[in-house]
């Protein structure tokens, strides 16, 4: 009967200097993000009399939801005093078709560039990547002139098209990297069985694409919902997104600044991206890791 091996050497200490340094760094970084959020939440439930006392970190002594109600329905965004509710529904109307269209087109182009050796595909992919790194501001004036000439400027369709166009390079890159890690034998087997271009995408590729679809949805929802410059430029007065109205609330105040209303409006604006990350954050990490691994 063989003897049981006994570990040799000194027992590792539970808390080393390196580990304490890592924990300390993580705590400081967490506080840099959590303290401003705490101040925003606490301020949004305070009255203006309590805010004037200057205790920014204190929880409200007299709890009130009036700033939230005012931010939603009666805060002034310029000449109109309708709160951010109109901008919220405008953002929803912009968000849903933009996310669906950009992901659908990005998955289709990524699939085609991965499994079909089309002449000029590599050049087209390089052009798409270059488009992803050029600042938006370079394209604003040419797009405004072009959209004005074809009747898309100052319309819901126009702002949706803009978001789809600017989201296409990143979506194509994500899906192309993810599909490149899939076994090519599955694609070849489907072609031998007689499946066509769309049939392979629908029945073979997309059922295995859940992780990257979640990543793409999170990125597009966050980017489109938080957009300001494109919504301000292309959406027009009737389709202004929530971020534009939030800017008007914060910067168009006359007299005393209502900090509680400003904080409440800011939190309302950020609720959708926060909810998306909160409920699907673990899938985001998995999808990014899956798209980064090459087979």
Q: How many angstroms separate the CA atoms of 280 and 236, rounded?
A: 32
Structural domain contains residue 5: no
Spatial neighbors of 42 by CB under 8 A, at least 6 apart, are: 56, 57, 58, 59, 60
Q: How many angstroms separate the CA atoms of 238 and 34, rounded?
A: 35
Same-domain pairing of 139 and 198: yes
When divided into structural domains, the chain yields a total of 2
Q: Determine the pLDDT at residue 8.
A: 64
Instruction: Count CB neighbours of 216 within 10 A.
Output: 25
Contact 254, 76 (CB under 8 A): no
Low-confidence stretches of the chain (pLDDT beneath 50): 1, 293-295
Crossing angle of the two packed helices 156-180 and 259-292, in degrees rounded to 10: 30
Same-domain pairing of 253 and 143: yes
- Domain enclosing residue 175, as ranges: 85-292
Q: Determine the pLDDT at residue 29.
A: 93
Q: Determine the pLDDT at residue 249.
A: 85
pLDDT in tens, 84-126: 999 999 999 999 999 999 999 999 988 888 888 777 777 877 8
Same-domain pairing of 150 and 204: yes
Q: Determine the pLDDT at residue 139.
A: 85
Q: Determine the pLDDT at residue 295.
A: 41
Q: Determine the pLDDT at residue 286.
A: 65
Q: How many angstroms separate the CA atoms of 233 and 241, rounded?
A: 11
Structural domain contains residue 220: yes
DSSP state of 2: P
Same-domain pairing of 21 and 165: no
Same-domain pairing of 42 and 145: no
Q: Determine the pLDDT at residue 90.
A: 93
Q: Determine the pLDDT at residue 2.
A: 52
Same-domain pairing of 141 and 27: no
DSSP 41-84: HHHHTS-HHHHTTT-TTSPPSS---HHHHHHHHT--SSS---TT
pTM value is: 0.82
CA 23, 25, 30, 35 torsion-angle sign: positive
Q: How many angstroms separate the CA atoms of 168 and 122, rounded?
A: 16
Q: Determine the pLDDT at residue 294.
A: 45
Same-domain pairing of 33 and 101: no
Structural tokens at position 184: 């090519």
The CA dihedral of 92, 97, 102, 105, to the nearest 10 degrees, is 170
């Amino acid at each position: 009967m063989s003897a049981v091996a006994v570990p040799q050497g000194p027992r590792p200490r539970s808390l080393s200097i390196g580990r304490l340094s890592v924990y300390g760094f993580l705590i400081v970084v967490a506080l840099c993000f959590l303290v401003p959020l705490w101040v925003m939440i606490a301020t949004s439930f305070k009255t203006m009399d309590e805010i004037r006392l200057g205790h920014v970190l204190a929880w409200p002594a007299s709890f009130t939801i009036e700033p939230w109600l005012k931010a939603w329905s009666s805060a002034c965004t310029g000449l109109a005093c309708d709160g951010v509710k109109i901008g919220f529904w405008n953002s929803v109307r912009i968000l849903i078709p933009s996310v669906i269209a950009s992901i659908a087109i990005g998955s289709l182009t990524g699939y085609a560039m991965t499994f079909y050796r089309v002449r000029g595909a590599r050049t087209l992919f390089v052009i798409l990547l270059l488009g992803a790194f050029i600042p938006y501001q370079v394209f604003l004036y040419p797009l405004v002139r072009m959209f004005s000439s074809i009747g898309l400027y100052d319309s819901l369709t126009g702002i949706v098209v803009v978001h789809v166009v600017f989201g296409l390079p990143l979506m194509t890159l994500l899906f192309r990297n993810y599909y490149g890690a899939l076994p090519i034998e599955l694609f070849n087997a489907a072609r031998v069985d007689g499946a066509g271009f769309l049939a392979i995408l629908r029945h073979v590729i997309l059922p295995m694409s859940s992780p990257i679809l979640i990543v793409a949805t999170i990125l597009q929802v966050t980017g489109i919902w938080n957009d300001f410059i494109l919504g301000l430029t292309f959406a027009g007065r009737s389709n202004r997104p929530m971020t534009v109205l939030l800017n008007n609330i914060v910067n168009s105040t006359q007299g005393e600044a209502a900090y509680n209303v400003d904080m409440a409006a800011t939190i309302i604006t950020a609720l959708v991206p926060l909810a998306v990350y909160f409920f699907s954050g673990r899938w985001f990490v998995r999808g990014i890791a899956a798209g980064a691994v090459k087979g």
